[in-house]
């Protein structure tokens, strides 16, 4: 039976805790950038940029632990299957912890290989290695946290998700400031602070989700459910790897132009991060609403959820674009004392201001298809758009740093267009509402 008509107030009530929690995620990156950036050491700032790219690639390669968990949990909730909801949480926590432990053990092979692929070298490589190895101490906790967070979002428990997100990010900010400014641990201190915050957050998440641990042991190893979990996760993993490859290429494109350009790119990416993470509050709401609608086979409910969330996304994106255009230079000055980095960043701000508007359709459609657990569509769209982005970047290289950012803007457009090709197929999965 279809749920009652969805309202804008209900969307906002579900989205605002996620938005607040997500707003603190880029705060961590901003603090990391400011703590290192205000030392005036462009190499250290560039090392944080490269190291963050490597760690994000390693961790978000397993981002299905969050995304797949949200969609599958929402669908189980919509279908009223409490036993499967509990089993999903336990599967996710076990899988996340095991994968994180494997990353930690394999770092001696992973880190040198990752550095070899990046346009770094010399002291930049040395600083980047210190950051990455420190971050990997938190890998098991970080990936188990993905699963717990995705489970809470799938159930629409956004205030609980907000609580543990705040614990994670505030701990990170406090520890980074202490380790770098008080203890003088430099780039390695930034990585250790984040790893310690990951462990603090996963302990909090285990406490918040304890009600979901109960359930039959046999259901945990249900073959059909496990087959579906791995099928969805396989496609989401390929999708995430393709998008991570896109951003790794983007970071490497900046590194190719020199430490100052890469450092400016790291500063400017904070604008993109804040916009994307706050807008994710609405996109995560779309995941939960679309997943629940598909579980209940409510076509009209899904369409209404997409429309209302889209309205909020576009309005928020426009506000971010205006804010970046007006206040961007002042914010850059807060993050770095390097006059060269400030000059490069100022020239790129007009392009950066457009990112929220161009990126919104891609981010929203991601949420819709993740909620529908449409892994094949997400996988294919990511592969197509990443290939198109790389071709675009190669074509725009004569434009220097401006070409790097123009290619990123078009990369978002390619992704939205590719996902749009699968929209009709998604609608065919649902019968019309009575």
Written as one string, the DSSP assignment of 244-266 is HHHHHHHHHHHHHT-HHHHHHHH
CA separation for the pair 206, 195 (Å, rounded): 17
Contact call for residues 24 and 170 (beta carbons, < 8 A) = yes
Query: What range defines the domain where residue 379 resides?
Result: 8-428
For residue 434, is it within any domain? no
CA separation for the pair 103, 107 (Å, rounded): 6
Q: Residue-wise over 15-47: b if at least 16 C-beta within 10 A, else e? A: bbbbbbbbbbbbbbbbbbbbbbbebebbbbbbb
Q: Which tokens go with 142?
A: 């970080």
Cα separations in angstroms, 418 against 356, 380, 415: 18, 8, 5
Largest alpha-carbon pair distance within the chain? 66
The count of domains in the chain is 1
For residue 280, is it within any domain? yes
Containing 332, the helix (H) or strand (E) segment is helix 299-335
For residue 330, is it within any domain? yes
Among left, alpha and beta (phi > 0; psi -120 to 50; other), residue 432 is beta
By residue count, the chain amounts to 434
For residue 74, is it within any domain? yes
Q: What number of other Cβ atoms are within 10 A of residue 111's Cβ? A: 19
CA separation for the pair 135, 52 (Å, rounded): 9
Phi then psi for residue 136, to 5 deg, are -70, -15
Contact call for residues 330 and 338 (beta carbons, < 8 A) = no
Q: What number of other Cβ atoms are within 10 A of residue 11's Cβ? A: 20
CA separation for the pair 389, 249 (Å, rounded): 9
- Within its chain, how far is the Cα of 379 from the centroid? 16
Per-residue model confidence (pLDDT) at position 407: 96
For residue 117, is it within any domain? yes
Q: Where are the beta strands (DSSP E) in 238-373?
A: none
Per-residue model confidence (pLDDT) at position 129: 84
Collapse the DSSP code of 389 into the 3-class scheme (helix H, G, I; strand E, B; otherwise coil) and give the result: helix
Closest CA to 59 of 128, 129, 147: 147
CA-atom Rg of the chain in angstroms: 21
Q: Which tokens go with 42?
A: 């462009």
CA separation for the pair 280, 272 (Å, rounded): 12
Cα separations in angstroms, 182 against 13, 174, 178, 295: 40, 11, 5, 51
Per-residue model confidence (pLDDT) at position 321: 94
Per-residue model confidence (pLDDT) at position 295: 77
Instruction: Going residue by residue through the chain, which has 434 residues, state the pLDDT in tens, using 9 for 90 and above.
Output: 444 567 888 888 877 777 777 666 656 666 777 777 666 666 777 777 778 878 877 887 787 788 778 878 888 887 777 777 888 888 889 889 999 999 999 888 888 887 777 655 667 778 888 888 899 999 999 999 999 988 898 888 878 888 898 898 889 889 988 988 888 788 888 889 989 999 999 999 998 888 766 655 556 666 776 777 777 778 888 888 898 889 889 988 887 888 788 888 878 988 888 888 788 778 878 887 887 888 778 788 888 888 999 999 999 999 999 999 998 888 888 877 778 888 888 889 999 999 999 999 999 999 899 888 888 899 999 999 999 999 999 999 999 999 999 999 999 999 999 999 999 888 887 765 44
Contact call for residues 149 and 17 (beta carbons, < 8 A) = no
DSSP annotation of 132: H
Closest CA to 274 of 20, 64, 51: 20
Contact call for residues 300 and 308 (beta carbons, < 8 A) = no
Contact call for residues 372 and 425 (beta carbons, < 8 A) = no
Burial of 432 (0-12, 13-18, 19+ CB in 10 A): exposed
């Amino acid at each position: 039976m279809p749920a009652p008509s969805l309202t804008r107030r209900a969307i906002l009530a579900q989205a605002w805790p996620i938005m607040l929690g997500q707003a603190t995620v880029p705060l961590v990156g901003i603090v990391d950038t400011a703590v290192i950036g205000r030392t005036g050491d462009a190499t250290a700032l560039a090392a944080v940029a490269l190291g963050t790219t490597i760690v994000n690639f390693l961790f978000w390669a397993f981002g299905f632990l969050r995304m797949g968990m949200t969609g599958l949990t929402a669908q189980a909730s919509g279908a009223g299957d409490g036993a499967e909801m509990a089993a999903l949480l336990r599967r996710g926590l076990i899988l996340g912890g095991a994968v994180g432990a494997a990353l930690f053990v394999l770092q001696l092979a992973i880190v040198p290989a990752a550095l070899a692929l990046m346009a770094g070298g010399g002291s930049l490589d040395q600083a980047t290695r210190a950051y990455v190895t420190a971050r990997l101490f938190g890998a098991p906790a970080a990936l188990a946290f993905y699963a717990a967070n995705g489970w809470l979002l799938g159930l629409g428990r956004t205030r609980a998700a907000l609580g543990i997100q705040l614990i994670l990010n505030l701990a990170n900010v406090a520890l980074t400031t202490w380790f770098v400014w008080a203890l003088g641990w430099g780039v390695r201190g930034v990585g250790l602070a984040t790893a310690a915050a990951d462990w603090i957050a996963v302990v909090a998440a285990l406490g918040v989700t304890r009600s979901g641990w109960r359930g039959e042991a046999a259901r945990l190893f249900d073959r059909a459910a496990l087959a579906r979990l791995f099928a969805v996760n396989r496609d989401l993993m390929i999708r995430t790897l393709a998008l991570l490859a896109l951003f790794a290429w983007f970071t490497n494109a900046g590194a190719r132009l020199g430490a100052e350009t890469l450092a400016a790119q790291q500063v400017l990416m904070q604008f993109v991060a804040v916009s994307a993470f706050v807008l994710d509050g609405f996109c995560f709401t779309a995941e939960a609403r679309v997943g629940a609608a598909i579980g209940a086979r409510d076509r009209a409910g899904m369409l209404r959820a997409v429309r209302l969330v889209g309205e909020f996304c576009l309005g928020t994106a426009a506000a971010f674009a205006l804010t970046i255009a007006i206040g961007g230079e002042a914010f850059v000055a807060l993050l770095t004392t390097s006059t060269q980095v400030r000059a490069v960043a100022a020239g790129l701000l007009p392009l950066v201001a457009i990112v929220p508007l161009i990126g919104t359709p891609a981010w929203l459609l991601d949420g819709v298809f993740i909620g529908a657990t449409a892994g094949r569509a997400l996988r294919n769209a990511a592969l197509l758009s990443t290939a198109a982005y790389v071709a675009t970047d190669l074509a725009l290289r004569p434009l220097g740093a401006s070409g790097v950012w123009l290619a990123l803007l078009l990369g978002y457009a390619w992704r939205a267009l590719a996902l749009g090709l699968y929209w009709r197929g998604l609608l065919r999965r649902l019968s019309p509402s009575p």
